[in-house]
Amino acid sequence: MQRRQCFLARAFFAACVVLSPASLGSADPPALIHADSPRARSFEIDPTINWCAAVAGLRPGDELALKPGDYPGPCKFRRSGEPGLPVVVRAANMEQRPRIVYDRGNANALEIHASHVVIRGLEFGPTRQDIDAIRIYAGNDIAIEDCVFKRLGGIAIVANHDNVRGLTVRHNTIADSSATAMYFGCHDGSECTVADLLVEHNAIARVDAPAGQVGYGIQIKLNSSGIIRHNVIVGTKGPPIMVYGARDEGRTSIVEHNFVSGSRTSSGIVVGGGPAIVRFNVAKNNADAGVALEDYNRRGLLRGLVVARNSADGNLKGAFVAPEGVAYDTSESAGNGERPAPKR
């Protein structure tokens, strides 16, 4: 585990055929590269072309590659793919990422209102206070991969408007953010939920928040559930990871194999409710505990809990804290059959 965490930390600190405007505006732009499906097309554009208009013209299975440069936001993504034929917007060159630039204060850089969508290899930021990079309003089967978020005034990736199922967030880097990095679900657990969430292999460093706000790394709100694994999260104001649990005992969240360090006001991993499995994590140098169980808002949801084989060091209030009388399983194998990892 130590070798893997060191590798992820090093990776974090180390990184993080053009169409003419006429052809892009045509009813049926020419296909440049055909994917496996005869319906799929691939296009490559540069910043001289309206990328948001190009997105609006995509069909299921199409792929739009952005060449290096700055592309203006905001953009509303309303073009859905189909199961097995997502609409893909990606960097043409991962070594020179295209940057989505938005410096105003009345929208977000990218707003998604679509299903079967992949966003890969883009860069976002800086943004003004409370302006998010990617805000998901509605949709299912969405993947955000290999993106970089720098100096954001709002949330990097947020889904808290409508029910979302099948959201994958992987291999992203978030640095120097002035708000919570990732936010999934609605706070009250009734207006919306996120299900089949997978958050893995992300790097988050230096999260702040204005007075009165928490500044999380990753949070899964009430009645939403997912898997949070293999992430490196350091230097947050609030908890690097917090899950709030669910009233439905069939909605288990899994938090495993993460490295969390340096929360200035909280514990490394906070569980506000179950069912939840927290195992094989490393928590170091947090202001409270390494792992903490908390009966958030006295909801009485601290049940169905597994807390096993976590490592903690240098946390000011110890490795693990829990309210008196709360039961939890500490066996390494507990919960192994609870919820298989999504295959994505």
Residue 9 has pLDDT above 90, yes or no: no
CATH 2.160.20 fits 2-321, yes or no: yes
**Does residue 125 have a pLDDT over 80?**
yes
| Cα 65 versus chain centre, distance | 22
Helices then strands, each counted (H, E), the chain: 3, 32
Q: Name the pLDDT band for 190 (thresholds 50, 70, 90).
A: confident
Would you say 277 and 257 are in contact if contact means Cβ atoms under 8 Å apart? no
Helix (H) / strand (E) containing 10: helix 2-14
Percentage of the chain exceeding pLDDT 90: 83
The CA-based diameter of the chain, rounded to the nearest angstrom, is: 69
Domain-wise residue ranges, the chain: 2-321
Over residues 262-268, mean pLDDT: 98
- If you write DSSP's letter for every residue of 129-150 in order, what string do you get? TT--SEEEEE-SSEEEES-EEE
Structure tokens at 243: 């899950």
pLDDT, tens digit, 9 for 90 and up, residues 55-102:
999 999 999 999 999 999 999 999 999 999 999 999 999 999 999 999
Rounded to two decimals, the pTM is 0.87
325 C-beta neighbours (distance < 10 Å), count? 6
Unique residue bearing structure tokens 């994505």 = 344
The pLDDT confidence band at residue 40, using thresholds 50, 70 and 90, is confident
For every residue of 25-90, DSSP letters joined together read TSSSPPPSEE-SSTT-EEEEE-TTS-HHHHHHT--TT-EEEEPSEEEE--EEE----BTTB-EEEE
User: What's the number of CA atoms in the CB half-sphere (13 Å) around residue 149?
Assistant: 36
The pLDDT-based confidence of 169 (bands split at 50, 70, 90) is very high
Q: What is the mean pLDDT of the chain?
A: 89
